[in-house]
Every structure is written in structure tokens, then in C-alpha cells.
Amino acid sequence: MFNKNFLLAILLLPLGLAAQFTIEGNVFASDDNQPLSGAHLLLNPGNQQLISDAEGQFAFQKLQSGSYVLAVSYVGFETIAKEISLSQDENMSFSLKPASYLQDEVVVRASRPEPKTPLTYSVLDAADISKNNSGADLPYLLQQTPSLVVSSDAGTGIGYTSLRIRGTDITRINVTMNGVPVNDPESHGVFFVNLPDFAASVDNIHIQRGVGTSANGAAAFGASLNIKTDAPSAIAFARMESQAGSFNTFRNSLNFSTGRSKQGFALNGRLSRITSDGFADRGWADLKSYYLSGSWSNAKTLVKIIATSGKEATYQAWNGVPKDSLKTASGRRYNPSGEMYNSDGELIGYYQNQTDNYQQDYYQLHLAHQFNDQLQLSGAAFLTKGKGYYESWKNQQKFNDYALPDVVIGLDTIRRTDLIQQKWLDNTFYGFNLALQHQKKRFNSTLGLGWNRYDGDHFGYISWAQYASESLNDKPWYTNNGFKTDYNVYLKSLFAINESFSAFVDLQYRHIDYKISGIHDDLRDISQEHTFDFFNPKAGLFYTINKNNQAYVSIAVSHREPNRSVYRDADPGQTITHEQLINFEAGYSYNSQKIRINSNVYFMDYNNQLVLTGKINNVGAAIMTNVPESYRLGIENSIDFSISRIVSVGGHLSLSANKILNYTHFVDNWSYWDDPENQPYQYAYDLGTTDISFSPAIVGGFTLGVRPFAGLAFDLTGSYVSRQYLDNTSNKDRSLDPYFISNVNIRYEIPQNFFKKLELKLQLNNITSRWYETNGWVYQYVVDGEEYTMDGYFPQALLHGVVGLSVMF
């Protein structure tokens, strides 16, 4: 079917180009008839975009006859959309009325770059997100952006997932929701499994690569994700979506909006549930979530309240598959989690409740007020509550590892037992942020501050044991607390030097107090305190060459404090210092009505980056250590080309070198335990310059879009990721093979008069059924001079898909 439609589109293309027309005109303000320079115009189909010039004029050229929709928007004015039946040249004028309400975008404006800010970023709007939303976690909807790699523990994008941008993982990526920090302050991580179907409530996402502009929360040490949730709808609606697919995957979602009333009130909401068995054996997930927002606004003031929550239950699939098992299709689904053995070491089954269970609740209050055309104040208060545990079967555990006495039965002393343990986390994260924005014709400034506090309790219970020396359920075998206070102040300004040049300066001061107290699960006292003061300056220059060509250059500094696990696992007296990043960016863009090209180069110079080197602590746990010098150097390119109203193509390609200088690798010597006086406990290997783990040298992708007739949309996408090393040794035997996968997305809006919209969706993933892995881990050791490894890989599902129906009332 695809081949026939594609060939038909190619054959008809010359006929469509034979008759070409122009839509031109101007945009002005209705209140004073002044031209609006910089108004945004979007023409569909074809996703053609223009910006009005200094006189408010625009021109879409070389258009084929047919039906179009032209949307015109400008900050502070109401958006206009007009349907056009094009059969001749059209000249149109758009008179935009000042908005009768303060726009919802104000809640994220302080944490995002202005249009002429010299930073590297991509933007995904609600349409980009919605068309690919098949229930997979949010990272999977961002795949067609430069330098981004995703992974799924269960192999389907549902359950535990992860992403890396420029090789940096989520603990180094600042994530905000409406300007509010999302990263866990202790681990620095974001677990998207706690936000199931969140994409259905997202209006747009800014992905800033590199340090980016100042934001609240965790340090941006490789990228930032600025997520804005949905804005109040102009009309009331209800939308039901149901999808079913491979591995017993089901998604059901209900979205609704009351529309904005004449008094300025609006209510939006969503209920969702997603279930899947997963590609990995027993890799099932049961995910539930809701989203609710209520707002009131007039021309000068906005008040918005948001409550959203995610509750997840997933079978553990985070141990991966041993490399030897990847050779067969059945072995690729093997999941060692929950294995139960008898006293002879024989596998007797799997523990059915080897699960992770967690609920995260987000509450936000946003206030904004525009004092006049130049001055605006916005702020937010937030509360994030999380509580849950993961439950695990443990074979033949020593009683003394849990601070329990041995069991004596008659004349026998029992020192080990099978048991079930639960490790709990109960945390509270709250704070506020404020931003005062001053805007003149040539000078925009933002003065901002943010304060937040985290209080997290970590504890564990033994819920059952084959042999119990005393009551186990009434007291934890370990308990500790993390208490962290973080505040920052920043000032950023964008100054138009003249019509061609704009200068950007961003200065941030950040202070952190972090305290850990109590006993870890291995019974070590991990109590400690740390304080940090960071100064993070940024500056750049933006050059408007002409209306189609632009360029920029910038430099930014970021500092990052070590996270909980670094401090928790360190030996007493071990020296650990914070990390520093100096980020250089330079870019060029070309934008016309038919084609958009972006290209940028970057150099990220790290000082004291924390990495795994194989080094262990005094109880044998792997620890992270500072490496003095490391860097990332790369070039990122993207293109979007509207060939015709039927066919469009896009793609991205990133090339990079990611290196550690003077790297020393450590390998455990298991023979040490038999002869500690004559055997080293670790071997050290000086390897010189090596590749940073999980940092592919090539990341690329493409999109082919075909719209053969009104209502039908067909997208073919492909993604390529080159070799990734599992450790920092550049050893091919401990790496992920390169892979290329392709997906198909088909959407058809059924013509009818009963519903506002009735749409069918089909998403097919990995259509060539390629065997590939996206993540893994490796442990290396030596016995009697011979090297051995233990490892775990995360294979992804072969051909799989979902089909769905969306109904809007």
C-alpha cells in the first residue's frame, strides 16, 4: 500500500507543480493599525512557516492549488486561523486583536530562550507529540531530535525507559514542568514511568542541548527539557482514545476541556491507563495517571492550579539479559529477575511479586501579572510527593547482613535464609520560583530566583523469611534520610545592538546544602554534610544575516554537585569534588517557506567529571571517581524540506568525539580473597585516551511524510545509532552494536458529521524486525590471571505495533 501511494505521489508531483500560486499579505494590530514585525505564520498542509518582516509583510510562494489553513499568531494577540481554497494568487490582510487574557505561555517564558537567544535548541509542539503518542514513555516521542538516544528495560517503550542527549544521561539533564523542577534532588534522575501518558497533557517541549539558559532545579550538564503542559482550550471538547497492540498492550485515555468561559475560567483534565506484558519475560507494566488544571485569566492576570499524578506497578526488568542469551529469539526475552533457587542451587521458579511500586503526585500553583506593556511578574509554588517500594526475592541471605541473630533449631544453627525484602522511599519536595521580566524594543531582561527543599526517607523491611530469628515486619533493618536545600538567583538579558546583532548575558548563583543521616542497607553509617556555592555565567552573540539566514556563538559554564549514590558509596576519607563544564556553541540556520536547515558545532570541556572506572569501595561496591580531563566535541545538523503539499522529508545527523584523557581502568582480582598478602585486590590499567561510555559517535534519523489526500497521513521514520561502549575502556567486546531501525505511523481522519473528529491510528515499530540492544552493563574481574565478565543487555522488541481509535466530541 505504501509503495503504491508513494509512486502515485511522485507521478502526480509534476502535474501539481505545473500550476503554482502565491499567498501574500500583511499582519497588523487592530487597535492602532501598526504592522506587526515577527508575527508567526503557519501554513498547512506542509507545515510551512514564515515570520513577517519589518513591515508586517509575508509571502508563501510556489503553492499548488488546493485547500490550506493559514494560522497567524503574535505574542500578546489572539491567534487567527483562516481556511483558503487556493486556485489563484491571494492577497490577504490579518488584523490581530490584543488578547483579552494573559497567555498561558507566561508560566514557562522565564526558563526558555527568546527567539534570538544564541543557544542550541529544538521545539516540539502538541501536534508533533500527539501524532506519535501510542502509550510509550515521553522519551520515545523525542527520538527525531538531534543527538537523542532512548532505551527501554522491557523492550517496548512502556515501563522503565531512559534517554541520553549528547551521551549524557537523565541525571545530567535539567527537566522542568511549567518552569518547576522535576529532577529528584538526591539522585538527580527523572523516572518517566511515574508520568505515564503524560504526553497527552503536553502542549510543547523545548529541548536545549548543552548548558542552555538558567533554569530552576538540577544542573543542566548536557541538556534541558522544558515541558509546558496543555493550555486552556478555546472550545469545550472531550476526546476518548483507545489503543491495543503487541504484547497485550492497551492504552485508554480520556481528555476533556470546558473551554475558556467569558469570565476567563477554564478546566482541563485527563484520565489514563496503560498496561503491557512487555517484550522481556514477565516485563509487565500497569500504569495509571490523571491530570487536572484549572485557570482564570484576564488581560493582565493569570492564576493556574495543576494537579497530576502517576501510579506505576512494574515487574522488574532492570537486570538485563546476559550476552550469551542474546543468540536466540527466546533467549533475548530472558529475564533473570525474581529467580528462586533451592538449597542445591537448582532453579525452582520465579517470584511473581518481584515488582516496583511507586506513586508520584505533583501540585503546582502559578500566578502571573502584567503591570504594563514592559513589566511582567510570574511565579509558582509547588509540592511533589512520592512514596513507594520495590519488592525482591533474595536467595540464601546471611542473617548478620540484616543485623539479625542466627536461628538455632535444636542442635543446628541456621545462618542463611530465603527472604523477601522491600526497599522504600518516602519523599517530599517543595518550593517556589519568581521571575520579573522587563521588555523594551531592544532590551529584554529577566530577574529570577528559585528555592526548593527535599526531605527523603529511605528504609527497608523484610516482609517474609523462611527462617525468622525474631519479628521482622515491625522494624526496618536500615533507615536513612536525605535533606537538601537548593536556591538560585539569576539575571539574564538579551540586547539588540542593531538590526543585525543581539547580545545575550546570563548570570546565575546557586547554593546547595545537603545532609545525609542514618544507616544504609549494608549497615554502614553514611551520615555526612556538604555545601556548595556555584557561579554559572553564560554569554553569546546572535547575528541576523538576512531574513532567511542567522548565526550565533555562545559560551556557558555549569557546575554540578555529586548525587546521593556517589556520596553513599564512597569510602570514608575519599576525596570527591564537584564537576565543572565549559560549553562552547556555534550555529547557523536557514529558514524559508519550503526548507529549514540548522547546523551547530559544540565543544563541552569537563573538569573532574564523575565516571565509573572500575574502582570499588571497602565493601566491594563500584564507586564513581573524578577524572580530571574529558570532553565532547560534535556537530549537529537537521533539515526539514516541504517538497510539495503531498510529500515532505526531514532528517538529523550528529557526529561527535567523546573522550576521557589519561584514563586508568581498575579490575577486581578475586584471587585476592584466597591470598590477600600476596595478591592485589585490584589491577590498574593505564589506557590513555578512551571513549566515554554510552556516547555514540554517530546519531541520525529521517522522516518521510506523505499526505496523498485530505485526512490521510503517512510517516516513515528511521533512527541510526553507532557503537556504544558499556564502560570507558573502548573495548569492542564490551559494547552495544550499531543499529538502524525504522517505524511507520499512519493516521486517517474519517469524514463524518457525527463527531468533531474521528481518527484511526496505526503505529508499527521496528518494521524490519531487527535484533538490537539499546543499553547494558558490564562487570569485569580476574581469577587466577584469567579475565571474566558478567553483563546484562537490554534487547528491544522485534516488529510490534498498536492500532487505535480517537474520538473527539
Say if residues 713 and 127 touch (Cβ distance below 8 Å): no
DSSP code for 15: H
Distance (Å) of CA 150 to CA 158, 606, 679, 796: 12, 23, 42, 11
Q: What percent of the chain has pLDDT over 90?
A: 72
Q: Which residues, other chains included, contact 78 with Cβ-Cβ below 8 Å and sequence gap of 6+?
A: 96, 97, 98, 99, 100
Residue 615 banded pLDDT, cuts 50, 70, 90: confident
What is the sign of the dihedral through the CA atoms of 176, 182, 188 and 192?
Answer: negative
Q: Which residues, other chains included, contact 677 with Cβ-Cβ below 8 Å and sequence gap of 6+?
A: none
Q: How much is the pLDDT for 78?
A: 79
Read off φ and ψ for residue 281, nearest 5 degrees.
Answer: -55, 130
Q: How far, in whole angstroms, is CA 694 from its chain's centroid?
A: 16
What is the sign of the dihedral through the CA atoms of 149, 152, 156 and 160?
Answer: negative
Q: How much is the pLDDT for 40?
A: 81
Q: How much is the pLDDT for 85?
A: 86
Please report which helix (H) or strand (E) contains residue 685, including its range. strand 682-691
Say if residues 645 and 16 touch (Cβ distance below 8 Å): yes
Q: How are beta strands 412-414 and 416-439 bridged, if at all?
A: unpaired
More confident of the two residues 806 and 132: 806
What is the distance between the alpha carbons of residues 275 and 286, in angstroms, rounded to a whole number? 5
What's the chain's average pLDDT?
Answer: 91
pLDDT at 655 over 50: yes
Q: Which of 696, 575, 592 is nearest to 640 (CA)?
A: 592
What is the distance between the alpha carbons of residues 220 and 215, in angstroms, rounded to a whole number? 8
Residue 471 banded pLDDT, cuts 50, 70, 90: low
Q: Which residues, other chains included, contact 203 with Cβ-Cβ below 8 Å and sequence gap of 6+?
A: 104, 125, 126, 228, 229, 230, 231
Residue type, 732: K
Q: How much is the pLDDT for 375?
A: 94
pLDDT at 484 over 90: yes
Residue 220: all three cell numbers together: 543542566
What is the distance between the alpha carbons of residues 144 and 138, in angstroms, rounded to a whole number? 12
Q: How much is the pLDDT for 101?
A: 80
Q: How far, in whole angstroms, is CA 503 from its chain's centroid?
A: 29
Residue type, 530: H
Give the N- to C-terminal CA distance of the chain in Å, as an integer: 31
Q: Which of 61-65, 562-566, 694-698 has the lowest mean pLDDT?
A: 61-65
More confident of the two residues 14 and 229: 229
Q: Which of 48, 7, 23, 115 is nearest to 644 (CA)?
A: 48
Predicted confidence (pLDDT) per residue in 285-294, tens digit: 999 999 999 9
Q: How much is the pLDDT for 10?
A: 41
CB atoms inside a 10 Å sphere around CB 54: 10
Q: Which residues, other chains included, contact 199 with Cβ-Cβ below 8 Å and sequence gap of 6+?
A: 129, 130, 133, 138, 141
Q: How are beta strands 20-29 and 90-96 bridged, if at all?
A: parallel
Read off φ and ψ for residue 156, nearest 5 degrees.
Answer: -125, 0
pLDDT at 5 over 90: no
Three-class secondary structure of residue 513 per DSSP: strand
Cis? peptide before 537, omega within 30° of 0? no
Q: Which of 784, 770, 647 is nearest to 718 (CA)?
A: 770
Say if residues 540 and 555 touch (Cβ distance below 8 Å): yes
What is the distance between the alpha carbons of residues 623 and 617, in angstroms, rounded to a whole number? 6
Q: Pinpoint the alpha helices (H) of 445-525.
A: none
Q: Pinpoint the alpha helices (H) of 282-435.
A: 329-332
Q: How much is the pLDDT for 753?
A: 85
Q: Which residues of 494-509 are buried (b: 16+ CB within 10 A; e: fewer)?
A: bebeeeeebebebebb
Q: Which of 14-23, 496-505, 549-558, 793-802 has the lowest mean pLDDT?
A: 14-23
Average pLDDT over residues 126-134: 85
Residue 103: all three cell numbers together: 497567555
Residue 12 banded pLDDT, cuts 50, 70, 90: very low
Phi-psi region of 511 (alpha: psi -120 to 50; beta: other; left: phi over 0): beta
Q: Which of 126-135, 368-377, 744-753 has the lowest mean pLDDT?
A: 126-135
Q: Which residues, other chains included, contact 480 with Cβ-Cβ below 8 Å and sequence gap of 6+?
A: 457, 458, 459, 516, 517, 518, 519, 520, 526, 527
pLDDT at 13 over 60: no
Predicted confidence (pLDDT) per residue in 295-338, tens digit: 999 989 999 999 999 999 999 999 999 999 999 999 999 999 99
What is the distance between the alpha carbons of residues 809 and 755, in angstroms, rounded to a whole number? 5
What is the distance between the alpha carbons of residues 496 and 500, in angstroms, rounded to a whole number? 8
What is the distance between the alpha carbons of residues 729 and 685, in angstroms, rounded to a whole number? 10
What is the distance between the alpha carbons of residues 539 and 598, in angstroms, rounded to a whole number? 21
Q: How much is the pLDDT for 487?
A: 96
Three-class secondary structure of residue 499 per DSSP: coil
Q: How are beta strands 375-398 and 416-439 bridged, if at all?
A: antiparallel
Say if residues 481 and 457 touch (Cβ distance below 8 Å): yes
Q: Which of 115-124, 501-510, 582-591, 619-628 has the lowest mean pLDDT?
A: 619-628
Average pLDDT over residues 522-527: 94
Say if residues 194 and 312 touch (Cβ distance below 8 Å): yes
Say if residues 80 and 96 touch (Cβ distance below 8 Å): yes
What is the distance between the alpha carbons of residues 70 and 58, in angstroms, rounded to a whole number? 12
What is the distance between the alpha carbons of residues 55 and 766, in angstroms, rounded to a whole number? 49
Read off φ and ψ for residue 322, nearest 5 degrees.
Answer: -55, 145
Q: How much is the pLDDT for 495?
A: 94
What is the distance between the alpha carbons of residues 45 and 26, in angstroms, rounded to a whole number? 21
Sheet hosting strand 40-44, strand order edge to edge: 48-51, 40-44, 66-73, 80-86
**Cell 472550545, located at residue:** 235
Distance (Å) of CA 627 to CA 218, 463, 631, 695: 21, 41, 11, 16
Say if residues 706 and 5 touch (Cβ distance below 8 Å): yes
Q: How much is the pLDDT for 2?
A: 43
Q: How many CA atoms within 13 Å lie on the side-chain side of 605?
A: 7
Average pLDDT over residues 534-545: 97
**Cell 556504544, located at residue:** 724
More confident of the two residues 737 and 98: 737
Predicted confidence (pLDDT) per residue in 154-179, tens digit: 999 999 999 999 999 999 999 999 99
Phi-psi region of 324 (alpha: psi -120 to 50; beta: other; left: phi over 0): alpha
